[in-house]
Amino acid sequence: MGTAVKKAASKPAKRTLAERILAIDVGGTGLKAAIIDAHGKMLTERLKVATPHPCPPELLVHTLVKLVEPLMQPLPATHISIGFPGVVRDNHVLTAPNLGNESWRNVPLAQMLSDQLGHHLPVRIINDAEMQGLAAIEGKGIEFVLTLGTGAGTALFRDGELMPHLELAHHPVNKNKTYDEYLGNAARDKTGNKRWNRRVEKVIGILSSLVNYDRLWIGGGNAANLKFDLPDNVKVVSNEAGIEGGARLWHPRSVRETRQLPPGAFE
């Protein structure tokens, strides 16, 4: 990690009344964006379009630029936060299982989007489940995030600090089916909502034994389809969290969170 990156990660961005963060939530099914303030409050409506399929990097950037154009007028954003469904390091996408992995190998998505928008804005990108978690977590103990959407995303926090990303979604959970295949939207469509709910309930028990979490947060579009009583330490996250968490990439709640800001932010 370079000197400039260390400086960006070691000191939270200065709060200003005029700050406008363009928060983007990239999903396998839909792309969402809104302008938020430093506290995660929405300053604009949330816009959404379908995710193209197939979706190589250039097409995703083009679609996002068209999506956010109305949000950038009359006042452009001052920062950009992106939640992305895959492995992200140093502002580069390493994997994109729900978008087509072959074209998503070490893609500098943050820089590409900043260049296309033409404002040379500072950008930070993080896994989408992690961005949802930043908006939801309480910052105490072991907190785990499970997102139920096109696939299944996960994130792990300890006392508010983001742990190294694990692609648990690609780990076998039942008869060689991965979490993505077992809980993803295609599985819900195929098996029906009742059977899918039983699967989610089973996975909650597995994660409890595996992670020993103090709190489990469930997000993603399919969280609205849960029909069973959740344990006391499990809570559904607002569907807005994927956007609101974008503020925490620039304004963490604590010194500990400041230390775990994703590397690779360019100023």
Q: How far apart are CA 195 and CA 164, in angstroms?
A: 32
Q: How far apart are CA 150 and CA 184, in angstroms?
A: 5
pLDDT at 257 over 60: no
Q: How far apart are CA 225 and CA 193, in angstroms?
A: 7
The stretch 33-38 carries a mean pLDDT of 94
Q: Looking at 176-180, 193-197, 234-238, 259-263, which range is the least confident one?
A: 259-263
Q: How far apart are CA 49 and CA 34, in angstroms?
A: 12
Give residue limits of the domains in the chain.
Answer: 17-130, 131-241
Q: Look up residue 90 and give its DSSP letter.
A: T
Percent of the chain with pLDDT over 70: 87
Average pLDDT, the chain: 87
* CATH code linked to domain 131-241: 3.30.420.40
The stretch 83-112 carries a mean pLDDT of 91
* CATH code linked to domain 17-130: 3.30.420.40
Q: What is the pLDDT of residues 214-230, one digit of tens each?
A: 999 999 999 999 999 99
User: Which region holds residue 235: left if phi is over 0, alpha if psi is between -120 and 50, else beta?
Assistant: beta
Band (253; pLDDT cuts 50, 70, 90): low
pLDDT at 167: 87
pLDDT at 98: 85
Evaluate whether 17-130 and 131-241 have a shared fold.
yes
Q: Extract long-range pairs of 47-55: CB within 8 Å, 24+ residues apart.
A: 47/71, 51/26, 51/27, 51/99, 54/99, 54/100, 55/99, 55/100
pLDDT at 70: 95
Where would I find the H helices in 45-144?
Answer: 57-68, 109-117, 128-136
Count of CB atoms within 10 A of residue 171's CB?
12
